[in-house]
Structure formats: structure tokens, C-alpha cells
Structure 1
Amino acid sequence: MLTISTKNKLESNEQFKITRFKPIIKSTKPHKHQGYYELIFIAEGEGFHWIETVNYKILTPDLFFLKPGQLHSWQFTSIPKGYVLMFKEEYIDEIKEIKILQQIKRLGELTRINEWNDQTVEIILEDILQAYKSNLENSEDLIKGYLRVLFAKIEGQAIQKGEITKESPLCDRFLNLLAQHTPIFHKVQDYAQLLQTSPQNLNQSCKKSTGKTASEHIKAQLVLEAKRNILHTEQNVNQIAELLQFNDSSYFVKFFKQHTGETPHQFRNRHFG
């Protein structure tokens, strides 16, 4: 049975890594990343980048920023040139580098910035790569400094496009937890308990930050997980309903249709015929 895999390109003791794209034409199967962010800059190349349920045509220079738990896959049609930068949140010291964490949080749900017009970003990424490879005593200080500049530039581009969301630490923690928690809880109170707050406080925080309640985010995540499994696995409706902790498949079908306007079978057929 085809299932969605979870990849971890960082070794158990690694918190940061940067590489150049391998000069080969390849495609990857849909997968998630476990517990780390991935920033991707494509200077040259053609193809498609599927993130969640959106299939982006690569328009170089192109920049993607994936959060922990997001699903994606590649299908290159020409040799790519660029960089892949990966890091865990704990790599950023929450006291010394709080500004970087704040920059990342302010990016909210930003996934892509195309039509990138700042040529210095490629230079910065190459400098980060050289600092990473040199493994000198001050390499980490250099990398952290470059990251501050890099995310400032990304934030600037995002502000220009009006894609920055309001910051709310509680809601951010909830959304990160929601993206990675398996199985997905269906009730706000379960997440509120994990976050040591009340359901009312969690709902208010998310409403203020994103315009949606925590309950609405949970439903959206359930729909997203359903779509992931419908599109990228061979599991049937009963199996997906069980995976997502629905009491029975008929209720799952009703829930899915209520939020998408079509049944799981209709959704799968529309994409694959």
C-alpha cells in the first residue's frame, strides 16, 4: 500500500544543514519533513513543486519556505541550480537569536515568493554554505548572522506582497503542534490541554492572529490530511477515515463534502479521472 512517508535529512545530532541542488533531473514521491524547516532557493531550472494540494510551476529565481510537517514533492524537467537549507527550531537560541525566531514567526503561512529580484540572496546562501563546510570556530556565528540578514530580506519581500500575518506566540505554537501531531485531535480542548491554556483563550488567540478560531484550523487540517491521503496514497475511504480518527466512514464522507463540496471519491476522480 502506498503511504505518505516522513523524511529526515538531518542526522540525529544535526540541527542545521545546507547543500546545493544535485545537478540531476529527478522527481520525488510526496513526503513530509520531520521537525525541521526547509528553505529552498532555485536560481535555475524548470519543473513543478507540489506543496500540499497546490502544484506550483517553478519560475526562477524562485524561493520556497516549508514548515515542519508540510507535504511536498518535486518533478524537475531540467537540471536545477540552487540551495536547500534545513534547520531545526532549537538551532536558533531563543535568547541570543530571538530576532531570527521572530522573523520566522512573522512569515506565518508564507510558502513561496516567486519573481525574486534580490540577487544578493544567492551570494548569502553561498557564503552560508562555505561557512558550514569550513567548520571553523566562528562558523556558527557567521551562519546565524547570515540567517538574520536572509530572513530580513525574505520578510521584506513578503511585506511588499502583503503576505505577513500578525504574530501570536500561542497560536503559532498551536499551529505548529497541529501540523505535526498524529493522530489529529478533533477537539480544541485537547490541544488547549497540551498547550496548558483554556479552549477559550486558544480560540481567541487564533481568532486575533489569523481571523480563524482554533476549531476552524483543526477542521482545515483534517481536510488537508484527508486530501493528502486521497491524492497521494491508495488507501480507501474506510482506511482514511480510521487514520483520521473518525468514528465511521459515512461521517467522514459527510464531513469532507461539507468542507469541500464533493465526496472523497469525487475529489480523487477529479484529479486522476
Structure 2
Amino acid sequence: MQLVMIPASSISTKNKLESQELFKISRFKPVIKKTKPHKHAGYFELIFIAEGEGFHWIETENFQLQTPDFYFLKPGQLHFWQFTAIPKGYVMMFKEGFIDAVKEVKILQQIQQMGELTRIPAWKDAIVGQIFEDILRAYQHPDQYSEDLIKGYLRVLFSKIANHTSESFNNGRENPLCDRFLGLLTQQNPLLHRVGDYAALLQTSPQNLNQACKKKTGKTASEHINAQLILEAKRNILHTDQNINQIADLLQFNDASYFVKFFKKHTGETPHQFRGRYFG
């Protein structure tokens, strides 16, 4: 698939949930379209596509649809669609506040245990589509039991994901400090560069933060920060028309030459070479 440069000064952030809205589900619009690269503000997105053809770009990966296809997008992840046939399926969005941290702690644990999971292609489990349909029905015809019903279905759905992709999950050890850091990392705009800056926001020491991250993920907090900086750089290199100087400034690098060295150190190529691989 040929990627087309999007003429934009920055990547947009969409919020399809109203300020007080915590949950929403709808069917895919039956249209063939290409969306612009964007991120979602502060909510998770579960997507089930039963029918359709086309491509789904998530961060720097381009997936060809393999229906029935399932995606789990976390807050702040960049994506866009290019359909070549009318899609049929569901889009479910919810904020973390929808899940009661005391009553529904199991759901929060299941979300954390999904780790880096983004996609389950060709998920031929008939009950998954039915779960989305039942949740949609409960959402469209609310009564006193609807919210409990929806959350019950979410537990079933996440449990089925765990059974289907258990090898993709992390070891499931809880680590609130690391979890809060990783969540904060995707919310900072512009990104902070120093472990000490994040440690101060989390009211801990850089040593404690590094230790917590190393224990849970095998990577230090610094490695996570560098990975997020590279991800943000790639997003802007591929999906905006900003030049390298502008991207370096956006990501709070002191100068463009240092940004270029940083990018090459972590990717093996310069920002210009990376952009050239996609646009020639």
C-alpha cells in the first residue's frame, strides 16, 4: 500500500466521547472511506470488524484487514483506516472511569494484562460478534441493569482474549507505579525527557521508578521514555508535513542535530532516511 503524506501541521487528537460520557458503542458506518491519522483522547477502543476489506494503520504498522478482525487501541495510540469495501462491525469506546476500581478490579487487571496486544486477526469465534451485538442492544435500550450487563460482557470478552492470546500477555504482576508511569508517558505533550521529571510527578524517586519498570517490563523508565520519543517522532515524520527542525522543536529537543543523532542511535537511520523509505 502506498502511504500518502497528510498535509497537516500536527497530528489531531479526537474525542468521540462527551465530557461526562464514559462509554459508547456503535456500528461501523457502512461507507468506504479513508480517515486522517489521529489519536484518541483518554479512552480505550475495542473494534470488531466482521466484514470488509482495506487497511488499518496503527502507529508505524500497516495491517491488511483479515476479517473477522479485532483491535484493542489504548489512549493516545495513533491510527487511521483506508477501506476498500464496506465494513460491517462495531466500535466500542470507554474511559477508565467507567470501570469501578473497587467493584470491577478484575476488569482493570485484565486490561493491564493485555500488555502490548493490539490485534487479533481472523478471530473466528462466533460468540465475539454476538457479545458486541448484545452490548449494543443494552446500550441502545438502557434500564437499571444495562451497565452491569455491559461490564459483565466486558469481563467475558477480555477473558476470551486472554484464552486466545495467552502467549502475548505479560506475566500479569501488578505494579501500580509502573502502570501509572506508562499511562503518564502517553499523556505528556510535549514529552518530558528525564526520568526525574516523571518521578517528581509520581512523587517517587528516579531509582524507585526505574526499579518498578524493570521488575514489570524488563526495561528501565529511561528506555520507555526513549521508546515513546521515537514513536512520537515516527508519527510526525510519517503523518505530518513538518520538517525535521519543527519535529525536533515539537519534541523538546535542544536542537535538530541532537534530535537526528538520537533518532539514528535508536533506529539505525536518520529521520530523512526513515521518511524516504515511505515516500521516496
Relative to the length of structure 2, the TM-score reads 0.95
For the Cα contact (< 8 Å) 1:24–1:79, is it kept in 2?
Answer: yes
How far does the alpha carbon of each residue in 1:38-94 deviate from its partner, in whole angstroms, 9 at most, with x for none?
000111111100000000111011110000000000001101111100000000000
Aligned to 1:87: 94
1:169 offset after TM fit, Å?
2.3
Query: Which residue identity lines up with residue 122 of structure 1 in the other structure?
Result: G
Q: Is 1:195–2:202 an aligned residue pair? A: yes
**Which AA in structure 2 matches 1:76?**
F
Alignment of 1:85-164 (within 5 A): 85-159=92-166, 162-164=167-169
1:175 to partner: Cα distance: 1.0
Q: Which amino acid letter does the alignment assign opposite residue 95 of structure 2?
A: K
- Report the equivalent of 2:229: 222
Q: 1:49 aligns with which of 56, 61, 64?
A: 56
For residues 61-76 of structure 1, the aligned pairs below 5 Å read: 61-76=68-83
Distance 2:258 2:247 in 1: 12
- Deviation track 1:117-160 (CA, whole Å, cap 9, x = no partner) reads 3210111110000000002121111111111111111121120x
Q: Distance in 2 between matches of 1:227 and 1:93?
A: 35
The 4+ residue runs of structure 1 with deviation greater than 3 A are none
Percentage identity across paired residues of the two chains: 72
Instruction: Give the alignment's TM-score, normalised by structure 1.
Output: 0.97
- Tell me, which stretches of 5 or more residues in structure 1 are unaligned? none
The one-character-per-residue Cα deviations of 1:217-243 (angstroms, maximum 9, x if unpaired) are 100100110000000001111110010
Which residue identity lines up with residue 128 of structure 2 in the other structure? Answer: V
CA distance in 1, matches of 2:260, 2:38: 24
SS in 1 for 2:39: strand
Structure 1 position 268, deviation (Å): 0.7
1:244 is aligned to 251
CA distance in 2, matches of 1:91, 1:44: 29
Find the aligned partners of 2:41 and 2:187 in 1 and give their Cα distance: 8
| Separation in 2, partners of 1:195, 1:117 | 42
Q: Equivalent of 1:171, from 151, 174, 178?
A: 178
Q: Gaps (5+ residues) in structure 2? A: 1-6
Aligned equivalent of 1:258: 265
Cα deviations across residues 189-227 of structure 1 (Å, max 9, x unaligned)?
111111122111111111111111110010010011000
Q: Structure 2: how far apart are the matches of 1:230 and 1:165?
A: 30
1:26 to 9, 30, 33: 33
Shift of 1:115: 2.6
Structure 1 equivalent of residue 4 of structure 2: none
Determine if contact 1:39/1:86 at 8 Å carries over to the other structure. Answer: yes
